[in-house]
């Protein structure tokens, strides 16, 4: 009689999947995003004077200078030349030394024109200038 040779295979153990590589990758991603993020705290812009500060004299309203894409200037909504703007700012700053001037360039305004306008305001004596985006120039596609 012949005997059949039986070969038995060793049963494979299902290797246990370790969580260490997964935890390492999550830690590395967390570290990457923490180091890559911006930790600057953006403060609120000073467009309106503080309310309820008391005192006999209230703070003056900010003066708004808009700069169009073509380089045209407006002073509180009225068209104005650069020379007249400089004299008006100098007069206003002489009355209120802490006068806030808000420069609102159009989105398509040239950077050189914005810089020239800032130089003009500083030369006129403005010490508190805020650069804001023109609220009427906001494209709804940005949101």
| Domain spans of the chain, in order of start | 63-142
Judge residue 74's burial from the number of C-beta atoms within 10 Å of its C-beta, 0-12 exposed, 13-18 middle, 19 or more buried: middle
CA distance 91 to 107: 29
pLDDT score, position 44: 46
Q: Where does the pLDDT of residue 20 fall: very low under 50, low under 70, confident under 90, or very high at 90 and above?
A: confident
Listed residue (106, 117, 119, 115) closest to 70, CA to CA? 106
pLDDT at residue 141 is higher than 70: no
Closest CA to 105 of 47, 63, 64: 64
Q: Which helix (H) or strand (E) holds 94?
A: helix 82-95
For residue 11, the model assigns a pLDDT of 73
More confident residue, 68 or 38: 68
Q: Which residue has the higher pLDDT, 88 or 11?
A: 88
3-class DSSP state for residue 130? strand
As a whole number of angstroms, the longest Cα–Cα distance in the chain is 123
How much of the chain, in percent, has pLDDT values that exceed 90?
24
d(CA 36, CA 31): 8
Band the pLDDT of 135: cuts 50, 70, 90: low
Average pLDDT score over the chain: 78
- On the question of pLDDT at 58 being above 80, the answer is no
**Mean pLDDT for the stretch of residues 66-76:** 90
Q: According to the CATH classification, is domain 63-142 in 3.30.420.270?
A: yes
Q: Angle at which helices 82-95 and 111-123 pack, to 10 degrees?
A: 40
In this predicted structure, what is the pLDDT of residue 59?
A: 58
């Amino acid at each position: 009689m012949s005997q059949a040779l039986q070969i038995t295979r060793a049963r494979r153990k299902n290797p246990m999947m370790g969580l260490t590589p997964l935890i390492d990758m999550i830690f590395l991603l967390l570290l990457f995003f923490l180091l890559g993020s911006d930790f600057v705290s953006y403060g609120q812009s000073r467009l309106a004077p503080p309310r309820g500060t008391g005192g006999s004299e209230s703070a003056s309203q900010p003066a708004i200078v808009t700069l169009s894409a073509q380089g045209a200037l407006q002073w509180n909504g009225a068209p104005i030349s650069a020379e007249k703007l400089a004299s008006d700012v100098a007069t206003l700053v002489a009355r209120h030394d802490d006068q806030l001037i808000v420069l609102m360039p159009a989105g398509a305004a040239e950077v050189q024109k914005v810089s020239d306008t800032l130089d003009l305001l500083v030369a006129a004596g403005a010490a508190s200038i805020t650069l804001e985006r023109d609220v009427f120039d906001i494209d709804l596609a940005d949101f």
